[in-house]
Structure 1
Amino acid sequence: MKSIETFVLGMVQVNTYLLWNDNHVLVIDPGSKSLRLQEAIDKRNGIVDGIVLTHAHFDHIAGVDTLVNKYHCPLYMNDLDIPLLTDPQLNFSIGDPIIVHTKAQVLTPGEHTIGKFTFRYIDAPGHSEGCSMLLWDDHLFCGDVLFQGSIGRTDLATSSNTKMMQSLKYIKTMDPDLKVYPGHGPRTTLKDEFQWNPYLQF
């Protein structure tokens, strides 16, 4: 049985998602080493098939090493954001510098299967060079590309307003019935964003 759990973690309230398929779980953007997150996995005797990052800013990666060390799971991400894992300036660390020691495996655009999960990984640069989205059935996990009524900022290291516009143009071609799970804030749908989000009015 498939299900999705959302945990709002860390100082900037990042959405960390647990994707469940029976007792197998895929973790998206672990924003901290949260005991609540670990307890949720352990309560269901979860087998962690992997961690997938939408991008590598500090608030989306802070829990990676803890989860990898506990569950012995691999880390997957776009190779263009790998340098951010070990550079606190590039990953925009606020407060204590965040450095991830886990070696990441590269996800390229297209369909992938990790454990019991088959999904499409989509390039969506702009907020960072390696920003990506994950499409699992009709669920779009878009990181900091798209929010309810807004988009991710483009004034950080490796950001690009031009590439963000290209990513938004691609999003405009996607199925409006998709459910959208952003990196921050409430869940939405593409249909609502096409209608109300001022950054998609073109």
Structure 2
Amino acid sequence: MQAFHLLGSAPFYTNSFLLLTKAGHAVIIDPAAGVQEYDKILRDHGAVLTHILCTHGHYDHVGSAGVLSREWGAKIWCEAADCAGTQLFPLKSADFGYGEGTNLSVDELTFTAWHTPGHTEGSVVLLCSEYLFVGDTVFQGSIGRTDLEGGSDRKMEASLRKFAGLPIPKETQLLPGHGDFSTYGEELETNYYIKAALRNA
């Protein structure tokens, strides 16, 4: 597997990731960067985009999904709850949603999804090998906002407790939707919001 980190435009600078399999298939997690940036990597490596995986449906995470899907014939994964066709949730539909704790395989890559509502109703985290893509559920030392449409303090607290109990090695790299990277273990040990959720259990 080859992994590439791309950034969306200002002011959000959303983290986006492109993974290439040994067979030349590509997976994008949160297509927030410009279409041409993905196209260049794909064409430089002779790869074909087949899967677009969205951690949630906010516009700063899915901006290039539609164009890339049409251009490459790639399928889009996003929870139906986050496909409202609005300014905040621009996707009107997706090809697939995620089954709780189920696996999605793309050649040698296996993604495991867990639902983590709170930032949005359809938020998920995705584990692939040593990478945990958490969208806006958890940031380094913080969590995603719960005061936007579809957000919920109560559901976020429950999701953080679930998050803390996931069967994931502590050294797994935590890749959030915004800001710096961390590890799963570091967030369990130092993230105030996760620790508070566990105290309130």
Q: Compute the TM-score of the two structures, normalised by the length of structure 2.
A: 0.88
Per-residue deviation, residues 68-125 of structure 1 (Å, max 9, x unmatched)? 1211111111222122xx111x43xxxxxxx346643222223233432321111000
Native 8 Å contact 1:110 1:121 kept in 2 = yes
Q: Distance between the aligned counterparts of 2:92 and 2:45, measured in 1?
A: 28
Runs of 5+ in structure 1 lacking a partner?
A: 92-98
Q: Distance between the aligned counterparts of 2:187 and 2:16, measured in 1?
A: 21
Q: CA deviation at 1:32?
A: 3.6
Structure 2 counterpart of 1:24, one-letter code: H
Native 8 Å contact 1:126 1:164 kept in 2 = yes
Aligned to 1:68: 69
Native 8 Å contact 1:177 1:190 kept in 2 = yes
Structure 2 counterpart of 1:192, one-letter code: E
Q: Residues 138 and 101 (structure 1 numbering): CA distance in 2 closer, same or farther, change over 3 Å?
A: same
Judge which range, 150-159 or 172-181, deviates more.
172-181
Aligned to 2:18: 18
Runs of 5+ in structure 2 lacking a partner?
A: 197-201
Structure 2 counterpart of 1:10, one-letter code: S
Equivalent residue pairs, number: 191
Aligned to 1:124: 116
Query: Which residue of the other structure, out of 157, 176, 180, is the alignment partner of 2:174?
Result: 180
Instruction: Tell me how large the CA RMSD over aligned residues is.
Output: 1.6
Per-residue deviation, residues 116-150 of structure 1 (Å, max 9, x unmatched)? 23211110000000000111123110000001111
Q: Distance between the aligned counterparts of 2:76 and 2:122, measured in 1?
A: 15
* Match runs of 1:1-202 below 5 Å: 2-11=1-10, 12-22=12-22, 23-83=24-84, 86-88=85-87, 90-91=88-89, 99-100=90-91, 103-116=94-107, 117-174=109-166, 175=168, 176-202=170-196
Aligned to 2:199: none
Structure 1 counterpart of 2:110, one-letter code: T
Q: Secondary structure at the match of 1:177?
A: coil
Q: Residues 80 and 100 (structure 1 numbering): CA distance in 2 closer, same or farther, change over 3 Å?
A: closer
- Percent sequence identity over aligned pairs: 28
Q: CA deviation at 1:182?
A: 0.4
Q: Compute the TM-score of the two structures, normalised by the length of structure 1.
A: 0.88
Structure 2 counterpart of 1:27, one-letter code: I
Q: Distance between the aligned counterparts of 1:25 and 1:32, measured in 2?
A: 15
Per-residue deviation, residues 37-83 of structure 1 (Å, max 9, x unmatched)? 22111110112121011000010011011111211111111222122
Q: Distance between the aligned counterparts of 1:19 and 1:39, measured in 2?
A: 14
Structure 2 counterpart of 1:7, one-letter code: L
